[in-house]
Amino acid sequence: MAHILPYAPMNVSPEDLLSWYERSRRDLPWRDPGVSPWQILVSEFMLQQTPVARVLPIWTEWVARWPTPSATAAASAADVLRAWGKLGYPRRAKRLHECATVIARDYDDVVPDDVDTLMTLPGVGSYTARAVACFAYRQPVPVVDTNVRRVMARAVHGRADAGTPSAVRDHADVTALLPENGVAHQFSAALMELGATVCTARTPRCGLCPVSRCRWRQAGYPPADGPARRPQTYAGTDRQVRGRLLDVLRDNTSPVTRAQLDVAWLTDTEQRDRALDSLLADGLVTRMPDGRYALVGDAP
């Protein structure tokens, strides 16, 4: 498909990038024709902090079971938390359920299409609002995630890493590149795909890259200025303990005793208590008057 595109003000050619995207993009179900704005919003909630491979099966089951905001809102919070499974950061599931409730109740079951209204919904921040406006409603708004920031840092600014995020600067960077003839949404998807699959953090595959005048590459790949970032760990963290406690509650549709929860993490009892307190504070778990515990929505 030929695109008639304006002159690119920087060194990332929209035409090259779009043609690469058409050839190389991953076949992801939330990009299929006929996927609704709500289903795209669900994918964005799930993809915020979880890799695509883990999201794929959960998203597919989720949208088959709850295809609309009202169907999601009609489910119990406990069922939503169970369906979230091992995606991690389960507060997102609770917020998604709340978001569905607001859209069903206040917006006639239709996801709003403008960034400002989207940002008033539970769990929807600037990134998710822009992603939904762009990918579901084809609006020419900049969508900037970690992958896009890395591509911009390298291709446009000649730096190895993106450094500290700045919404104003990051959005201005991408806005300067967005084509104006109705393909901005595809350009944003292509930029994100490039960062996810080719210009990766550790091993950029420059031989496959459609950016022919990448400033970082032209400069001979100067190293990052700051200290090397330590990879995030999961084992032994409070997140892991929270996950273990939630596993116990997900596997039981009736409330469980404190002793049943305690066996989920015997390594450090203080850490276990802290994790349980945080689940209660987040509203994901309920303590019953008789001292037993249940997933929110499961308590009689």
Binding residues vs ligand SF4 (CB under 6 A): 151, 154-155, 198-199, 204, 206, 209, 211, 214, 216-217
Residue 193 beta carbon to ligand SF4: minimum distance, rounded to whole angstroms: 12
Q: How far apart are CA 283 and CA 279, in angstroms?
A: 6
Residue 187 beta carbon to ligand SF4: minimum distance, rounded to whole angstroms: 15
Q: Is 98 a catalytic residue?
A: no
Residue 151 beta carbon to ligand SF4: minimum distance, rounded to whole angstroms: 5
Residue 117 beta carbon to ligand SF4: minimum distance, rounded to whole angstroms: 34
- Comparing CB distances to ligand SF4, the nearer of 151 and 162 is 151
User: Which position among 22, 44, 193, 270 bears the catalytic label?
Assistant: 44
- Comparing CB distances to ligand SF4, the nearer of 206 and 299 is 206
- Comparing CB distances to ligand SF4, the nearer of 196 and 296 is 196
- Comparing CB distances to ligand SF4, the nearer of 77 and 151 is 151
- Comparing CB distances to ligand SF4, the nearer of 99 and 153 is 153
Residue 174 beta carbon to ligand SF4: minimum distance, rounded to whole angstroms: 14
Catalytic residues: 44
